[in-house]
Amino acid sequence: MAELNKDKFEEMVRNGEITPNVSLNGLDLRESNLRSAFLVGANMSGSKLQNSNLACANLESADLEGADLRGCNLSYTSFRNANLKNANLKKAYFEYTDFRGANLQGTNFEDTSGQKIV
């Protein structure tokens, strides 16, 4: 699926065509609108998601090791039991973002904003 472009991937998310545990590692999805995306168990390690809208997305048990999430909107996003080891969340926005059980070892939370992180 690495040959997908950002527009096609956004369309697939909107149409509910992404299945759990999909492999998207290393994909360049900068500035994507992935609002309400269902990406449970997805392998997104090393993905580039800078300045994307991931509000209300479900990324439970996803592998986001080393992913670049700088400047993302992560409001109401679930990262329950996800692997965010060494992910970059610099300048991300959080509101009721769920990190329960997530691996946050080495995760960069520099200059983040928002409230109520669970």
Distance CA 14, CA 27 (A): 18
For the segment 36-47, the average pLDDT, to the nearest whole number, is: 93
Which pLDDT tens digit goes with each residue over 70-109? 999 999 999 999 999 999 999 999 999 999 999 999 999 9
* Domain spans, the chain: 1-118
CATH topology of domain 1-118: Pectate Lyase C-like (2.160.20)
Give the CA count within 13 Å in the CB-facing half-sphere of 37: 30
Helix residue ranges per DSSP H, 1-118: 6-14
| pLDDT reported for residue 6 | 77
Kindly report the pTM of this predicted structure: 0.88
Mind listing the pLDDT tens digit for each residue in 9-18?
Answer: 888 888 878 7
